[in-house]
Structure 1
Amino acid sequence: MTLKKAYFFIFITLLIDQISKVYVKTHFFIGESINVLGLKWFQIRFIENEGMAWGIEIPGDYGKLILTLFRICAVGAIAWWLQDSIKKGSSKFLIVAIILIFAGALGNIIDSVFYGVLFNDSYHQVATIFSDEPYGTWFHGEVVDMFYFPIYEFKNLPTWFPFADSEGNFQFFNAIFNVADFAISVGVGILLVFNKKAFGEEHLLAK
């Protein structure tokens, strides 16, 4: 794969990610949800988080800034990895995985860097873009998540059951994610499942 093709796939992934986020941000308020095609197990539910997996936050006044700067450095390293892999003619499995991880990480960075100054808040209202009263500052935006698949809820489980709440309930699958998160997960999945093909001997010439 050429670097030009890689940039094209990154651009398409970013475009889908940002269009879906801006649409949800400008049509939903925090916590609002709808069933897609009337299916209870497939919902669009709007939430925001600080940008780490499962909503984990770094404490302190500069926690969010540190997280965003770290992510930017990480994306720079992934970009170098992508260019180096293409130059060496590495496996397409590896290159596709890197493309997805890079595009996903960059998609969430865009939220963190820009959304705080582009939108007003979404609590009890639908946000507007280019607002005169933005909810945050540069590098302090929150990441938009929306895809929710509450496939099944187990009830009346023993309270000692892993992940069960205090009433013995456990919901599968309860994560809420976005296109960028999905791209990262697929990329990592490719590296895990096709490990030997991804990290096998490098091709002599780039395909």
Structure 2
Amino acid sequence: MSKKKLAILTIITAILLDQVIKVYVKTHYALGDGIEVFSWFQIHFTENNGMAMGFEFGGKAGKLFLTLFRLVAVSAIIYWLVGMLKRNVHNAVIVAISLIFSGAVGNIIDSIFYGVLFDASNHSVATLFSDTPYGTLFHGKVVDMFYFPMWQGNLPEWIPFIGGDFFTFFQYIFNPADAFISIGVALLFIYSKQAFPKEEEVLKE
């Protein structure tokens, strides 16, 4: 398989998987609902207006800025991916950049379109293509659902500042798009010499 086909296949598969899971969760769970798959892995439906892992950012204006910033970032990622496709880099680098691109696009779709595609998820299951959408274009909420509370308990007293506090690891709820971005970044770290070659290596190629 050529690197171009590998990139296209990775992008299409990742974006479809992300959106299918999000739409399923939106149309089968009310906000705050979920199921326990294992004690350390739960599906817990939540939404956020801002950044990955549930962080918030500056209200509606911040939300719009973040969405526009993501669009610019996606353009830069496309340029980077096209440049890498022209070089003889490891397939893992192509997959990594494709996953980062897919994750960014997945969350952009939520941010731009979900506000006009779904009604509210509060206390009821959302309806796709609703006549009474919960938001406006560019002000949709990002859907999160993966929760891994691997350990919960009080931290030892000797730990500075947070000793004795109740702590959950891993406490953040995230979605497939976030996972794809994290996997892509991890692959870039592992294959950093291929992804970020020195100038003289680029000239040799």
**Structure 1 length as normaliser, TM-score?**
0.89
1:12 aligned partner, one-letter code: T
In the TM superposition, residue 130 of structure 1 has moved relative to its aligned partner by: 0.4
Q: 1:61 to 1:127 in 2, by over 3 A?
A: closer
Partner of 2:20: 19
Partner of 1:181: 178
Distance across 2 between alignment mates of 1:163 and 1:118: 42
Partner of 1:153: 152
Partner of 1:171: 168
In the TM superposition, residue 202 of structure 1 has moved relative to its aligned partner by: 5.4
Aligned 8 A contact 1:50 1:141 in 2: yes
Q: Secondary structure at the match of 2:44?
A: strand
Q: 1:139 to 1:23 in 2, by over 3 A?
A: same
**For each residue in 1:148-204, what CA deviation from the matched residue of structure 2 results, as whole angstroms up to 9, or x when unmatched?**
11011122643965656xx62111111111111110000001112332243344598
**Size of the alignment, in residue pairs?**
201
1:68-87 matches, within 5 Å, as 68-87=67-86
Aligned 8 A contact 2:54 2:172 in 1: no
1:137 aligned partner, one-letter code: T
Structure 2 residue ranges without an equivalent (≥5): none
1:67 aligned partner, one-letter code: L
Distance across 2 between alignment mates of 1:162 and 1:7: 47
Q: 1:2 to 1:54 in 2, by over 3 A?
A: closer
Distance across 2 between alignment mates of 1:183 and 1:60: 26
1:145 aligned partner, one-letter code: D
Distance across 2 between alignment mates of 1:125 and 1:177: 21
Partner of 1:10: 11
Partner of 1:57: 56
Structure 1 residue ranges without an equivalent (≥5): none
Distance across 2 between alignment mates of 1:163 and 1:91: 43
Q: 1:66 to 1:34 in 2, by over 3 A?
A: same
Q: Among 168, 192, 196, which residue is 1:195 paired with?
A: 192
Deviates more, 1:1-10 or 1:123-132: 1-10
Aligned 8 A contact 2:50 2:57 in 1: no
2:110 aligned partner, one-letter code: D
Distance across 2 between alignment mates of 1:25 and 1:145: 10
Q: Secondary structure at the match of 1:147?
A: strand
Distance across 2 between alignment mates of 1:93 and 1:85: 11
Aligned 8 A contact 1:159 1:168 in 2: no
1:189 aligned partner, one-letter code: A
**For each residue in 1:4-29, what CA deviation from the matched residue of structure 2 results, as whole angstroms up to 9, or x when unmatched?**
33112100001110000000000001
Q: Secondary structure at the match of 1:62?
A: helix
Two-structure CA RMSD over aligned residues (Å) = 2.1
Structure 2 residue 116 is the aligned partner of structure 1 residue 121:
no
Distance across 2 between alignment mates of 1:162 and 1:19: 42
Distance across 2 between alignment mates of 1:141 and 1:127: 13
Q: 1:161 to 1:148 in 2, by over 3 A?
A: farther
